[in-house]
Chains A and B, each alone.
Chain A
Amino acid sequence: MGEIAVTAAKSIKYEGAGTIEFIFDNSTKEFFFMEMNTRLQVEHPVTEMITGHDFVKEQIKVAQGKKLSVKQEQIEKKGHSIEIRVCAEDPISFIPCPGKIRRYRSPKGPFIRVDGYAYPGYKIPIYYDPMISKLIVWGKDRKDCLKVLNRALQEYMITGIKTNLVLHRNIIAHPKFKDGTYTTQFIENEFGERKQKDFFMYVDEHVFLISAAITAYKEEKRKDISKYNYQSQWKNTGRAQSMRTQ
């Protein structure tokens, strides 16, 4: 695939960073050309994670007319990496859900990278696609990598808007995803009739109810003015008046 990509780029005398996409059939071991992009792709961190090179830097260098800092022979692959796109969308209906982020806590720790620019109070604009950030993880093999990803997804906290974090958790927990036998129809076939109940299995239903009820209780308490012992001034004035002798 690499050779064919190089031949393709050379045949059009292409210079600069480019990405050629193929689709690979694991059963017949055939691959097919899909498209070429004249830039790095959104998935480039995956390659950066397994090679340890900064491709954005290299892309800029080449654009300046400089040479690449490494040769193909010097590039070594190590381990496995997965990237997920964190999007502001309803995980059930896939409808974009722009709005204001209330709480934001991104996962941290070894082999976790978050590319994004979101923070508490950040308003997701309506003009672009709903991607909030990219979460990229690394592991010594795919199994290890999925473990790291699962923990990172658990730690990722975004509130105030709907996100697809829970969809990703469901995907990586799916046996077909785990054993790698999924196809491009995976979501359609496996999550076609997905329901909130199955999707939100990571949270006990009563956790939602208890926290909402306690919050509502506190809100009611706050609004209850009887405890402040407010008295109408009209009443006091009236009393004072009635005590006056004419």
Chain B
Amino acid sequence: MLFEAESNKKKYTIHVNEGVLDWKIKIHQDKKEPIQYIVSKNDYQTLDKTISFIFKNSSYLIDVVGDGINYDVYTRGSYRSIKIFNDEMLLHESLRGGDSLSDDKELKSGMPGKILKVLVDKGDQVKAGEPILIMEAMKMENEMLATKDTKIKAVHVKEGQTVEADVKLISFS
């Protein structure tokens, strides 16, 4: 099976072939020579939903969380967010390309927290650098600033409200 992967801003093509006794993985990074690994299924096992992987004589306990495209890989206190597409998904992505969900149209919560203050109302004109909202998370108050001169289209949250990560807080016109 062929996958396109993106990790740490680098692009890879990965071939995964499952054999009876081993996995054949070919990793091809742009312009570099492809590298083939033959990973014995004895060295790559899933135990209690955790992957035990012996790679180059080093043992890793790995946890992979994935939703079909975005995979977060955790091991040895390190982590990596990897995007993985197969052919079909690549097509979907390219079709979606035209639709630009640009960040400067809305303010989203970077992490879960509580809205302390909303400093703007619908229709207000704000200047770049002006505070628009104060959010509290983990005992810290964070002031959200406008990144450019713009007008407030809508305010989606109320003071005192708790929000999850990646929630739309304010829209700009």
Contact = CB atoms under 8 A, between A and B. Distances in A.
A200 B7 CA distance: 13
Interface of B is mostly: strand
A207 B1 contact: no
B51 A211 contact: yes
Interface stretch (B66-74, B92-100, B122-130, B150-158): B66-74
Contacts, number: 147
A9 interface: no
Interface in A20-48: none
Nearest to B74: A159
Contacts of B112: 98-99, 126
Contact of A213 (B5, B111, B114): B5
B66 A219 contact: yes
B90 interface: no
Contact of A214 (B25, B68, B78): B25
Interface of A: 95-99, 102-103, 105, 126-130, 153-154, 156-160, 162-163, 165-166, 169, 196-197, 199-200, 202-217, 219-220
A128 B49 CA distance: 30
A203 B137 contact: no
A219 B77 contact: no
A200 B162 CA distance: 33
Contacts of A128: 138-139
B78 A166 contact: yes
Nearest to B142: A95
A153 B77 contact: yes
15 contacts: A127-B139, A160-B63, A160-B65, A165-B77, A200-B79, A203-B76, A207-B53, A208-B75, A210-B37, A211-B60, A213-B16, A214-B16, A214-B23, A215-B51, A217-B1
Interface in B39-91: 39, 44, 49-51, 53, 55-56, 58, 60-66, 68, 71, 73-80, 82, 84, 86
Interface of B: 1, 3, 5, 7-8, 12, 14, 16, 18, 23, 25, 27, 35, 37, 39, 44, 49-51, 53, 55-56, 58, 60-66, 68, 71, 73-80, 82, 84, 86, 110-114, 137-140, 162, 165
B25 A216 contact: no
A203 B111 contact: no
Closest 3 CB pairs of A and B: A165-B77, A159-B74, A159-B63
A154 B76 CA distance: 6
Contact of A215 (B39, B71, B162): B71
Contacts of A169: 77
Contacts of B113: 126
